[in-house]
Every structure is written in C-alpha cells, then in structure tokens.
C-alpha cells in the first residue's frame, strides 16, 4: 500500500512540475501584433498589372475605353477630378496628347496641369502582388518610378 501511495505521489509531483513549466513557457512567449489590414479604394488605384491576376486598375480601364473612343473632352474634364487616380491619368494623357499635337490645351487646362504636378494629394499604386504603395501626384508626375514608366508604355500602346 505504501508503494502505491508513493507511486501516486511521484506521478502527481511529475505532472504538477510539468504544468508549472508549461505556464512559465506561456508567460515567456512574446505576443506579436499584426498591423491593421490595409483597405484600398479600388476606384482610386493606379496600376497596369495589379494583384495576383496582373489586371489593370479600374481607373486605367476607364481611361483605356475613353482613349479608344478618342473622347478627349472627358479626359480634359478629368484634370479637376476629385478621384486622384483619374486626375493623375488625365494629366499624363493630356500632356502626351498635346505633345503628339492631338489636342490643344487652354490656358486654364495648362494651369490645372501645373497645379496637379505640384499636388501632395496621394493615390495608391500597385504592380503585381509585390509592390503596393501610396504616392503623391507630384511624385508620380515629376519623378521617374515604376508607375511613370508603365504609364508611358501604356500611352504609347494606346496612341498607336
């Protein structure tokens, strides 16, 4: 009988020690907080090969249709758009169309283009699943980056 009691006592002590060790390990575990999920307005994104599918953003698709119809008045009107993606594309397209002598820009439109080029308004950009950031209109219109290169390539293709 003493052997049984001693045996149970040893088992109890072993299990109680392991529980204390487990509790100590749990207390030492560092909790990692994940950043909040980024919510992107799909209507306000510039991209020519977005996400895993590699599709064009909604704004790029919209302006592709407008360019294919050669309805340049809509593009000029978008220079003052509230949607920053539309404003970026309208500015880039108007400059390209003017260079190719396909449109004439009024003084007011030229002033709006200048204003857009100095704007700190931000728009989301994307390039596949690896490059997703926010940039200002000034950065997009005055600095060389992956979006300006893709925009130039897209415009050259659209205006053949």
pLDDT of 1-29, one tens digit each? Answer: 666 666 666 566 566 555 555 555 555 55
What stretches of the chain adopt beta strand conformation (E)?
Answer: 45-50, 122-128, 131-136
Q: In Å, how far are 30, 36, 92, 143 from 63, measured between CA atoms? A: 49, 32, 11, 22
Best CA proximity match to 47, nearest among 89, 75, 77: 89
Phi, psi angles (nearest 5°) of residue 92: -65, -40
What average pLDDT does the segment 140-146 reach?
A: 90
Is the pTM here over 0.85, yes or no? no
pLDDT of residue 42: 74
């Amino acid at each position: 009988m003493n052997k049984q009691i001693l045996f149970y006592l040893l088992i109890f002590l072993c299990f109680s020690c392991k529980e204390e060790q487990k509790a100590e390990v749990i207390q030492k575990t560092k909790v990692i907080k994940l950043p909040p999920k980024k919510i992107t307005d799909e209507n306000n994104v510039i991209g020519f090969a977005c996400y895993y599918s590699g599709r064009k953003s909604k704004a790029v698709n919209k302006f592709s249709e407008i360019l294919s119809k050669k309805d340049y008045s809509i593009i000029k009107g978008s220079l003052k758009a509230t949607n920053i993606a539309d404003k970026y594309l309208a500015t880039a397209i108007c400059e390209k169309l003017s260079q190719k002598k396909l449109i004439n820009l009024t003084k007011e439109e030229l002033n709006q283009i200048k204003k857009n080029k100095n704007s700190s308004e931000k728009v989301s950009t994307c390039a596949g699943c690896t490059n997703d950031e926010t940039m200002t209109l000034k950065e997009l219109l005055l600095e060389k980056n992956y979006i300006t290169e893709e925009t130039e390539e897209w415009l050259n293709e659209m205006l053949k």
